[in-house]
Amino acid sequence: MDDNRDQPAPEPAPRAPAAPRAAADRPIFQALLTPYRSLGRRGFTVMMSFFCLISLVAGIAFWVKGAWPVFGFIGLDVLVLWWAFSASYRSARAREEVLVTRTDCAIRKVSPKGIVREDHHNPFFARFSVNRHEEIGITRMSVDSRNVSTEIGSFLNPDDKDSFAAALQQALITAKRG
């Protein structure tokens, strides 16, 4: 009986080159939208450490003066601040993926909980709607076709909304031209 355990596994057969993508399936526009968070994980750690230190010093000062219940409320403040930042970072896990080809406008939304919703629009019939406010700028963007309306980029800041709206509008015009 032969023992082949020490022999390397045979190499897989070479793959045939992938067929070139049809011109209609080549991406005209592709974007990944994610919420912006100005304070990174390291900054959060530094800020919370500083806040905890200040709260501890203040709490001890109150304790020494005989106002010991204040120490607990200061600790509660630290807990509430940590919870608020945790909720903010959790919501930052949301993302939207937009892909425009000549035959499809796919919008894939992933919620912070990981729930995926995907909508497809035909670029020839899709209408890109942008609602603007004089002072604020873009307040809502959506791709509409037939009875389906998909809002996109609601978490973007005004400058990012402007640049994204211009790029997506141009991509849909390019897709319609064929």
pLDDT digits (tens, 9 = 90+) for 80-108: 999 999 888 888 889 999 999 998 999 99
Q: CB under 8 Å to 175, separation ≥6 — which residues?
A: 28, 100, 101, 102, 105, 123, 124
Selected residue with higher pLDDT from 63 and 13: 63
Q: Which of 87, 108, 86 is nearest to 97 (CA)?
A: 108
How high is the pLDDT of residue 17? 47
Q: What is the pTM of this model?
A: 0.70
- What pLDDT does residue 24 have? 58
